[in-house]
Structure 1
Amino acid sequence: MTATAIIEPAPDLIDRLIDREQQRFAELHPKSAAAWAEGRQHFLYGGPSHWMRRWAGGFPVYVAKARGAHVTDIDGHGYVDFALGDTGGMCGHGVEAVTEAAARQLANGATMMLPTEDSLWVGAELSRRFGLPYWTLTTSATDANRGAIRIARMITGRNKVLVFSGCYHGGVEEAHVEIRDGKVGLRNMIHANGVDHAAVSKVVEFNDVAALEAALADEDVACVLAEPLMTNFGMVPVADGFHDALRALTRKTGTLLIIDETHTISCGPGGYTALHGLEPDIFVCGKAIAGGIPAGVFGVSEEVSQRLRKHVPDVNPRQRQSAHLGIGGTLAGNALTVAAMRAALGAVLTPENYARMIGNAERLAEGVRAVIAENALPWHVTQIGARAEIMFMPRPPKNGAEVIAARRGDLETLLHAFYMNEGILVTPFHTMFLMCPATEAADVDRHTGVLRRFVAMLKREGAA
């Protein structure tokens, strides 16, 4: 009996299919194409943010309106939005409670570098949800991480920050490192800009307790900056016992532990930290926490606050100036952000809405698993909280190295372009889905149907 040969698709097949989908996208979106051409005359890299050029269609759609879990572009096409501004829109678009609160505060002044009474409620709510007593507001999670790192260095007298390969913590320079082919370098095609990363950064693989222990043994690390599970390099679930080991090793070596929940706030009202009883020294969050208005927060433990105040005491009324922490800015904690944050935390990011969001994420994952099983595909889907991710590998990766070894960037691009042509938006950097309170079961089922059509197209073309 002769063995059946495995026929591999032609090397350039996926590229040709991408070209075809991008051509279809251009034909469907003439107004967005014209707007993008005009934008390239005035904006560096085409859009108000250079991130906006990274959508798989070859250019972004220009939005006419967004409501709830849906977006309509200027060509009149509607989309189910599972990207939600890469988490910034997790409350949903145009949420009434946030919109009304923001409008009221705009009418009464957006920013005065003075507190409002809303801030009293927000501070108490942050402590209640996340368990840390003292908070500072920033304009982004990047700023919150920078502030947390600065504080860690100040009170430990150490310079280095340890991160996990494949992480993402915003524009924090210390986190722009990864391990690739066994060597430490800059991640995500980031260009070197003169920072000596060997002097300020350490990087190990996620879930690797032995590597973490070795990296902390020299006691030269001010802080470990970590997500509870990795979400920005493809979702990488946390291994059993890893958080216990991480907390024990940081305490043993006098290293502060910063938990960044900017994405994992999707796990529940108190994030992964409250759900699993983590005990960070500093807690960071951003994006979704003010309903899409730029915001970040960091909270510190009682011990950290006491150590910090030895370096930077509270205001002495007899002094004309108090010491500057070297963080923040005149827009940090502005009245508009605080009002929106109160509305988001009080009326939108509620236990009831989380239950709805998580239920829809489970529904989406079940639909994807059915498509994978029906077609015997070597893919998987990970669902944690209100977030899910499709990856083109048989099982969830354990660390960044496994993602690098198996990631199919070409197939991701093809899927994303196909999705956009079929009215689905997902995070453009990898295939991650997020639910908001307005997401409906019908939206999820629409995605399952589109994915089935994508797989049928791959089979028809000999690519699967």
Structure 2
Amino acid sequence: MSLTDFLSTETERFNAAHPRTLAFAAEAQTVWRGGVPLHWMHDWASPVPLYAERAKDATLWDVDGHAYDDFCLGDTPSMFGHGREELQRAIAEQAGQGVGFMLPTRSSLEVGQLLKDRFGLPVWQCATTASDANRAVIRWARAITRRSKILFIDGAYHGMVDDAFVVLKGGRIVHKTGLIGQVADLTQHSVVVPFNDLEALSQALQTREIAAVMLEPVMTNCGMILPIDGYHDRLRALCDETGTLLVYDETHTLSSGFGGYVHAHGLRADILTVGKAIAGGVPAAVWGVSAEVAARMDAAQAEIGPGASGIGTTLSGNALAMAGMKAMLTEIMTPDAYAYMQAGAESLVARLRAVIARHAVPWSVVHVGARAELVFAAPEPQNAERMRRALDPVLLKALHLYLINRGVLIAPFHNMMLISPKTAAEAIDRLVAAVEGFITEYKRFTSSPA
């Protein structure tokens, strides 16, 4: 027997249990390209994506009536739980008063102060997604430093930002596989170094051609990779030494604690971007800058003069997004919520590690705040090159489909699991039991004679 046989068995099980989902998927082929509104929805391990009926707290129901313990939570936008009444009230009230005016509101004043207090940077701007925020930040970084190059970390993802679609391959910077319709050579203005490689980072910055380093404080999009001791301190020192801006993308690491990873670990960002969960799933993102960066932005804009900047969209900072952010920052993303999430994640990690040890599989679990990641390698990799070797696509698909068939959802892209303030202890029990069941089945299928 093999993993292929295992997948065939699990596929048959899914198909038998999801007749309405299969019917909807067939009908969708007539109205959506590829059968889904966004092609990412194909990235689930199931034969077709589940059709969601509704979700509440940390449970999702599909159109076939199956309930799922949701550890994906929309890949972070619903990190604090689905259907939050606080968010519902705020959105409904604002919708009744208008959703967008192309004007600031009283709520925008409150939200700006809340962002300043929570994240520590004094001046903020809004975007509609983290992709938009990161694009704006890159443009401003180039404008105020008069440098053209941006340094990214190999394996990073910063949304639909063209400049970031580069990786290291055989030591060379190349476009990411699958990049569609790109006519510019991104490698001319994008520099890539491995995570945790301080020597490569230093060499790149010493050229003094880099406008900004953009990175996640913990890598979360190529499997989870933690920084080595002293990494961020040295990064900060190198940026100061070479006049390079330091940009942290907290879109995923917002789960690290109240104020995100940067605040929790006492890091100093020149610019900070946050998206996804900041408005509870209402499309919104924000980016904040230091007082020094704000002054340099003002000077650069004054020098350029009037005209369209090419930064911003009509929907950015709309009244509905502000209502969502205000509710999240005041009622939902609270210290108590984070404490619950972190305690749940610590329990999950300890129990998954116990399962791994009990079954003697060469896997590991990486953890930051409310986010945990099961990695098919031990010890856990410290850079993307090694992590890519561990992301066995067949094994990933087998695990994910097995979990779906047992009523558990984790993020479809790798093995990320999020704990929300609404995640019950019993749900964690079921997740751990499902992972242990998978390991037992995996060992049986892969060790049995053909």
Q: In 1, distance between residues paired with 2:16 and 2:351?
A: 30
**CA-to-aligned-CA distance 1:277-305 (integer Å, 9 cap, x gap):** 11111000000000111111000111111
Q: Give the TM-score taking structure 2 as reference length.
A: 0.97
Higher deviation after alignment, 270-279 or 305-314 = 305-314
Match of 2:375 in 1: 391
Residue of 160, 171, 183 corresponding to 1:171: 160
Match of 2:66 in 1: 77
Letter in 1 for 2:360: A
Q: In 2, distance between residues paired with 1:399 and 1:188?
A: 18
Residue of 379, 384, 396 corresponding to 2:363: 379
Match of 2:193 in 1: 204
Letter in 1 for 2:216: E
Match of 1:411 in 2: 395
Match of 2:217 in 1: 228
Contact 1:159/1:199 (<8 A) preserved: no
Higher deviation after alignment, 99-108 or 180-189 = 180-189
Is 1:351 the equivalent of 2:335? yes
**Secondary structure, in 3 states, of the residue corresponding to 1:461?**
helix
**Secondary structure, in 3 states, of the residue corresponding to 2:15?**
helix
Q: In 2, distance between residues paired with 1:354 and 1:116?
A: 29
| 1:463–1:430 distance in 2 versus 1, CA, 3 Å | farther
Q: In 2, distance between residues paired with 1:79 and 1:73?
A: 8
Q: Give the TM-score taking structure 1 as reference length.
A: 0.94
Match of 1:287 in 2: 276
Match of 1:121 in 2: 110
Q: In 2, distance between residues paired with 1:258 and 1:42?
A: 40
Deviation at 1:409? 1.9
Question: How is 1:245-324 mapped onto 2 (pairs within 5 angstroms)?
Answer: 245-313=234-302, 323-324=307-308
Q: In 1, distance between residues paired with 2:174 and 2:5?
A: 32
**Secondary structure, in 3 states, of the residue corresponding to 1:65?**
strand
Contact 1:137/1:297 (<8 A) preserved: yes
Contact 1:221/1:255 (<8 A) preserved: yes
Letter in 2 for 1:456: T
Deviation at 1:325? 3.0
Contact 1:234/1:389 (<8 A) preserved: yes
Q: In 1, distance between residues paired with 2:285 and 2:107?
A: 16
Q: In 2, distance between residues paired with 1:285 and 1:442?
A: 31
Contact 2:166/2:187 (<8 A) preserved: no
Q: In 2, distance between residues paired with 1:313 and 1:124?
A: 26
Is 1:48 the equivalent of 2:32? no
Contact 2:80/2:332 (<8 A) preserved: yes
| 1:17–1:216 distance in 2 versus 1, CA, 3 Å | same
Letter in 1 for 2:385: A
Contact 1:360/1:435 (<8 A) preserved: yes
**CA-to-aligned-CA distance 1:22-81 (integer Å, 9 cap, x gap):** 222122111111111111221122211111011000211111110000000000000000
Is 1:155 the equivalent of 2:139? no
**Secondary structure, in 3 states, of the residue corresponding to 1:64?**
strand
Match of 2:354 in 1: 370
**CA-to-aligned-CA distance 1:181-211 (integer Å, 9 cap, x gap):** 3332223533361121121200000000100
Is 1:58 the equivalent of 2:42? no
Is 1:16 the equivalent of 2:5? yes
Contact 2:174/2:187 (<8 A) preserved: no
Q: Which runs of 5+ in 2 are unaligned?
A: none
Higher deviation after alignment, 197-206 or 21-30 = 21-30
Residue of 417, 424, 427 corresponding to 1:433: 417
Deviation at 1:437? 1.0
**CA-to-aligned-CA distance 1:2-31 (integer Å, 9 cap, x gap):** xxxxxxxx6xx2122122212221221111
| 1:24–1:186 distance in 2 versus 1, CA, 3 Å | farther
Q: In 2, distance between residues paired with 1:324 and 1:155?
A: 17
Letter in 1 for 2:335: P
Contact 2:173/2:187 (<8 A) preserved: no
Is 1:99 the equivalent of 2:88? yes
Letter in 1 for 2:87: V
**CA-to-aligned-CA distance 1:306-331 (integer Å, 9 cap, x gap):** 111112249xxxxxx95443211110
Contact 1:17/1:414 (<8 A) preserved: yes
CA RMSD in angstroms comes to 1.5
Q: In 2, distance between residues paired with 1:323 and 1:125?
A: 31
Q: In 2, distance between residues paired with 1:190 and 1:30?
A: 34
Contact 1:379/1:394 (<8 A) preserved: yes
Match of 2:316 in 1: 332
Letter in 1 for 2:111: V
Number of equivalent positions: 447
Q: In 1, distance between residues paired with 2:268 and 2:378?
A: 33
Contact 1:382/1:396 (<8 A) preserved: yes
Contact 1:367/1:445 (<8 A) preserved: no
Deviation at 1:223? 0.8
Is 1:460 the equivalent of 2:449? no
Question: How is 1:209-220 mapped onto 2 (pairs within 5 angstroms)?
Answer: 209-220=198-209
Higher deviation after alignment, 112-121 or 178-187 = 178-187
Q: In 1, distance between residues paired with 2:437 and 2:337?
A: 31
Contact 2:345/2:370 (<8 A) preserved: yes
Q: In 2, distance between residues paired with 1:323 and 1:463?
A: 67
Letter in 2 for 1:374: R
Deviation at 1:135? 0.3
Q: In 1, distance between residues paired with 2:356 and 2:224?
A: 18
Is 1:402 the equivalent of 2:386? yes
**CA-to-aligned-CA distance 1:91-138 (integer Å, 9 cap, x gap):** 211001001100000010011111111111110010111111100011
Letter in 1 for 2:343: G
Letter in 1 for 2:198: V
Q: In 2, distance between residues paired with 1:409 and 1:22?
A: 16
**CA-to-aligned-CA distance 1:381-400 (integer Å, 9 cap, x gap):** 11110000001101111100
Q: In 2, distance between residues paired with 1:45 and 1:279?
A: 44
**Secondary structure, in 3 states, of the residue corresponding to 1:312?**
helix
Q: In 2, distance between residues paired with 1:206 and 1:347?
A: 35
**CA-to-aligned-CA distance 1:394-428 (integer Å, 9 cap, x gap):** 11111001112333221111000000000000010
